[in-house]
Amino acid sequence: MQMKRFIFSSILVFSIHFILAAQSHIASKGDLNIIPKPFKATPNGSTFHFNKKTVLLLSGDVDKSAAQIFLSSLHLITNLSPSISHKASSNFIRLAIDSNSIPYSEGYLFVVDEKHVSITGHDAAGVFYGLQSLIQLAGRTINHAVPGCIIEDHPRFAYRGMHLDVSRHFFTADQIKKWIDVLALYKINTFHWHLTDDQGWRIEIKRYPRLQSVAAYRNETLVGHKKDLPHIFDGQRYGGYYTQDEVRQVVKYAAERHITIIPEIEMPGHAMAALTAYPNLGCTGGPYQTATYWGVFSDVYCAGNNATFVFLQDVLDEVLNLFPSKYIHIGGDECPKQRWHTCPKCQKRMADENLKDESELQSYFIKRIERYLNSKGRQIIGWDEILEGGLSPGATVMSWTGEKGGIAAAKQQHQVVMTPEKYVYLDYYQSLYPDEQLAAGGYLPLKKIYSYEPIPSVLDSTQSKYILGVQANVWSEYLDSKQKAEYMMFPRMLALAETAWSSKENRDYIDFLSRLRQQYPLFKKLGIHAANVFDEITYTIGKNPNGKTLINLDSTLPHGVIHYTTNGTAPGLYTPVYHDALVIDKGEIVKAAVFKNDQQQGRTFQKRISFHKAVGKPVTLTFQPAENYNPGDPSALVNGIEGSNLYNDGQWFGFSGANLEAVIDLGSVQKINLIGTNVLKYHWQRMWEPTELSFWVSSDGTNYTQVYSQKDFAINGINIIKASLKDTQARYIKVVGINKGIIPEGEYGAGAKAMLLVDEIFVY
């Protein structure tokens, strides 16, 4: 909203621009554009310039290879090449380690004046992070001037992570190293490498050659989104894996940049690729096929067969040799239980071990692997489903399905890494504009990831200590190129980095954006294809005091001016300037674009608004919508705007296991020609059509007559329902949708409550 405050008319805008530009010039002098925001930073008015005499002065324990890594990054971004020296000169950068004067682990003190830069780390990591701050400051301007300052800095969380799935799409070891460089620049210290899954096994295991020749490949790959039926495939064999030498190199490369790599070997689910190579490890014995499309598959490792544990322990032995990390990720998520339910070996295991159900069998599986890893001096980390059937004693939980798993684990005094899907899954769309590259689904704009607070408010201060940190996850189903992957990672990873490093008090989105805009020259030097859509126009819907529906437009672009139209034409410099919410009193298409210096910035915003009899009218819901799918005011069901394929775009109402029962009061008896609504059917997101949808009308709000009913919803996506009515007069409209209830066996999320999603009830 920062922009709107200032824009009253186009004439005033001109002079205000002038004032703001002057202010921002003052603010930018000595600006410390560092991401993540340092703990404490004070400009001192001086400036350090690199020159031909600049040397890198190493004192005490600072090792030369650390200095060389810095020099190569500095050179890449600035073309500068200071030499390493043990003698001071007239212009130097001095590095030192002093754990006494710098109290915080990974922390550093950074002092810049005219002649020198001094970086003192608590430890080697602290020195490294001071150097990353220096690279950011020097990299942002053409002359690489470093603003004079004193910075005291240290991280809020010890665990600051990014996950990457290399099974669905493979990225080379060299590519991984480039991303590690970028993560290190923003003080991320953990890379969670998701190495095995249904669609490909990506790590060489010498004892099991078929993991390389068979499991590392799939016959073909799904084209387009998996919700689009029928599925179409590309017919191209796809795959690849990292040799152990490559893995060693990547682990070393990361360690030199203070990044720990945690390998993930998935079990007991997401095992199709391994089963294809070694079918005896599945309950049915196969044959199996490395998956060619995305989802959750019912064939998993057999928990009753000892060969499964022999195989996994052999695999882990080789993994442990390659990865020195304290934690080994063993997956644990999304393991359907139907094969175990009918497998004689699994059932015998349950009887022998006194396990009451298949959830306890999963817990047995994880605990058995945990004991093995503990015996080798390592600890397990797993997705929150490892809570099912009882958590193993030393497990660390990665809370992804929401915050619940993390909260439960912290209350049981288990360590937790927060990665809740709705806040930190970078496979979600970052923009609602329809021409975004294909993504898994969902909506996670930069602002939302930035807003995430990793310590749930329900935890007390003792329990909060179990929250080790936070991680963003990059699932690669739709990321079939480096460019697409980077578009999803950056800049959202920088928001996560700030959440993970900076103190809660230091986090401010508008301030973050002003520092973020200055990272783009660095991205360019690093060859990173970062998205740049965060300043584009977004909208919200409101109501004015007369009950009329309003659409608010907003852009975070400083000095941006929004021009709009409502007649279908393109917005331009000569169409009206937006300065206040627009009242919706007829059906229209709002188009808008943001301009700066008379140039359009970014894409044109477009939103179709339907104006029908129910818009703005009061709505009563009998059952509460689910937390994640609740726009708040029930009248958002009649706001003239339809929910899109991006199911968490803020328009859809979701009823978890409960029915939709909405009553709209039109205020007076009127002729009704049509009632309609939209239902979103996405079984892969646990979103189920109702078993019956019906429309009812009434003149008195007591006696209702049914005017329409529908039981089939053929579209895998948005089902548009329209019922034309004859000779119908009514004041009250009731829409009833009967929830499917529990998701049936064999479907994604079997046994959980089905979500019934509806948006916009139309009355004409």
**CB 203 → Zn ion: shortest distance, Å?**
25
Burial of 653 (0-12, 13-18, 19+ CB in 10 A): buried
| Residue whose CB is less far from ligand ACM, 333 or 554 | 333
Show contacts with ligand ACM in window 631-690 (CB under 6 A).
Answer: none
Q: Which of 239, 304, 654, 690 lies at the binding interface for Zn ion (CB under 5 A)?
A: 304
- How much of the chain is helix, strand and coil, in % rounded to 5? 30, 30, 40
Query: Which of Zn ion, ligand ACM, none is residue 343 near (CB under 5 to 8 Å by kind)?
Result: Zn ion
Query: Which of ligand ACM, Zn ion, none is residue 247 near (CB under 5 to 8 Å by kind)?
Result: none
**CB 419 → ligand ACM: shortest distance, Å?**
8
Q: How many CB atoms lie within 10 A of CB 536?
A: 22
**CB 368 → Zn ion: shortest distance, Å?**
14
Taking the C-alpha atoms of residue 98 and residue 103, their distance in angstroms, rounded to an integer, is 9
Taking the C-alpha atoms of residue 283 and residue 618, their distance in angstroms, rounded to an integer, is 55
Active site residue 334: yes
Taking the C-alpha atoms of residue 410 and residue 680, their distance in angstroms, rounded to an integer, is 35
Show contacts with ligand ACM in window 570-589 (CB under 6 A).
Answer: none
**CB 340 → ligand ACM: shortest distance, Å?**
19
What ranges in 160-303 are assigned the alpha helix state H?
173-185, 210, 244-256, 272-277
Query: Which of ligand ACM, Zn ion, none is residue 334 near (CB under 5 to 8 Å by kind)?
Result: ligand ACM
Integer angstrom CA distances of residue 158 from 99, 255, 260: 17, 15, 12
Query: Which of ligand ACM, Zn ion, none is residue 345 near (CB under 5 to 8 Å by kind)?
Result: Zn ion
**CB 530 → ligand ACM: shortest distance, Å?**
24
**CB 343 → Zn ion: shortest distance, Å?**
3
Q: Which residue, 379, 341, 383, is CA-closest to 359?
A: 341
Q: Detail the DSSP E strand segments found in 699-754.
A: 705-710, 718-738
| Residue whose CB is less far from Zn ion, 248 or 341 | 341
| Total residues interacting with ligand ACM, rule: CB under 6 A | 4
Q: Which amino acid is at 109?
A: L
Q: Which residue in the shown chain puts its C-beta closest to ligand ACM?
A: 333
Helix (H, G, I), strand (E, B) or coil at 483: helix
Query: Which of Zn ion, ligand ACM, none is residue 302 near (CB under 5 to 8 Å by kind)?
Result: Zn ion
Show contacts with Zn ion in window 329-358 (CB under 5 A).
Answer: 343, 345-346
Q: Which of 197, 264, 535, 588 is catalytic?
A: 197
Taking the C-alpha atoms of residue 19 and residue 319, their distance in angstroms, rounded to an integer, is 60
| Residue whose CB is less far from ligand ACM, 31 or 427 | 427
| Residue whose CB is less far from ligand ACM, 400 or 450 | 400
Q: How many residues are recorded in the chain?
A: 764
H/E segment holding residue 461: helix 461-464
Q: Which of 191, 400, 534, 696 lies at the binding interface for ligand ACM (CB under 6 A)?
A: 400
Residue the block writes with tokens 């059917």: 681
Q: Which of 165, 266, 334, 477 is catalytic?
A: 334
Q: Which of 256, 314, 333, 649 lies at the binding interface for ligand ACM (CB under 6 A)?
A: 333
**CB 373 → Zn ion: shortest distance, Å?**
22
**CB 396 → ligand ACM: shortest distance, Å?**
14
Active site residue 86: no
Q: Which of 110, 253, 278, 383 lies at the binding interface for ligand ACM (CB under 6 A)?
A: 383
Query: Which of Zn ion, ligand ACM, none is residue 149 near (CB under 5 to 8 Å by kind)?
Result: none
Q: Which of 204, 264, 334, 760 lies at the binding interface for ligand ACM (CB under 6 A)?
A: 334
Query: Which of Zn ion, ligand ACM, none is residue 333 near (CB under 5 to 8 Å by kind)?
Result: ligand ACM
Question: What's the CA dihedral at 286, 289, 290, 294 to 10 degrees?
Answer: -100
Integer angstrom CA distances of residue 251 from 177, 178, 207, 245, 312: 9, 13, 21, 10, 21
Stretch near Zn ion under the rule CB under 5 A, chosen from 165-173, 300-308, 583-591, 668-676: 300-308
Tell me the HSE value of 599 on the side-chain side, using a 13 A CA sphere: 4
| Residue whose CB is less far from ligand ACM, 98 or 333 | 333
530, two tokens: 């970062």
Tell me the HSE value of 358 on the side-chain side, using a 13 A CA sphere: 18
**CB 334 → ligand ACM: shortest distance, Å?**
5
Active site residue 154: no
Q: Which of 117, 180, 185, 302 lies at the binding interface for Zn ion (CB under 5 A)?
A: 302
Contact mark string toward Zn ion, 258..287, x via CB under 5 A:
-------------------------x----
Q: Which of 270, 329, 414, 559 is catalytic?
A: 270
| Residue whose CB is less far from ligand ACM, 333 or 747 | 333
| Residue whose CB is less far from Zn ion, 66 or 361 | 361
Query: Which of ligand ACM, Zn ion, none is residue 254 near (CB under 5 to 8 Å by kind)?
Result: none
Q: Can you name the residues that pair with 117 across neighbouring β-strands? A: 93, 112
Taking the C-alpha atoms of residue 89 and residue 475, their distance in angstroms, rounded to an integer, is 49
Residues 6+ apart with CB under 8 A from 558: 2, 3, 20, 24, 514
Pair type for strands 222-223 and 232-233: antiparallel
**CB 333 → ligand ACM: shortest distance, Å?**
4
Contact 756, 693 (CB under 8 A): no
CA 313 to chain centre: 32
Residues in contact with Zn ion by the rule CB under 5 A: 283, 302, 304, 343, 345-346
Residues in contact with ligand ACM by the rule CB under 6 A: 333-334, 383, 400
Enumerate the active-site residues: 197, 270, 334
